[in-house]
Amino acid sequence: MEQFVIALGWLGAFAPVALGAIGSAIGCSVAGQAACGAMLDVESGYGKYIGLSAMPSSQVIYGIVIMFTLAGIGVSEATAGGLFGIGLMTGLALLFSAIYQGQAVSAAINASKNKPEVFGLSIAPAAIVEGFSVFAFVFALVMGGNIGA
């Protein structure tokens, strides 16, 4: 039983990276597909679409930082439950925020290809979704600091 508990602790420590990477891959794919489609419809300004399509990649970066923080606490029977809970829930938050951010970016690209003057405003929904992943990131760091205390 002890080994199972320890395994859950390690799973929790790695979950933010794994789930953040899955979400970032999906989100960047959705946004990238929209960027490719927009490039067929416009004559210039491709760079802003490609740059915007990378926006959901930030969630995996947050996941990496959280993983190092949680793994640095040390996995033991005493810390495994906290690591698992914080890591899994943060990973799920990063997963979903990256996917939905990709969809928001896709919508921004589609809107701005037809009406270029709304490009800046159309990014706002994607930035709001990013804010939720930042909340999960910050609170994971705060809660992680309390494990074993």
pLDDT tens string 126-142: 999 999 999 999 999 99
Q: What local confidence, expressed as pLDDT, does residue 116 receive?
A: 85
Q: What's the domain range around 51?
A: 2-144
Q: What local confidence, expressed as pLDDT, does residue 32 receive?
A: 94
All residues at 6 or more sequence positions from 79 whose CB lies less than 8 Å from its CB, including other chains? 9, 73, 147, 148
CATH number at residue 59: 1.20.120.610
46 has pLDDT over 90: no
Residue 88, classified by CB atoms within 10 Å of its CB into exposed (0-12), middle (13-18) or buried (19+), is middle
Domain count, the chain: 1
Query: Sorting pLDDT into bands at 50, 70 and 90, what band is 91?
Result: very high
pLDDT tens string 23-39: 999 999 999 999 998 88
Q: What is the spatial distance between Cα 104 and Cα 127, in angstroms, rounded to a whole number?
A: 9
Q: Indicate yes or no: pTM above 0.85.
A: yes
Does 149 map to a domain?
no
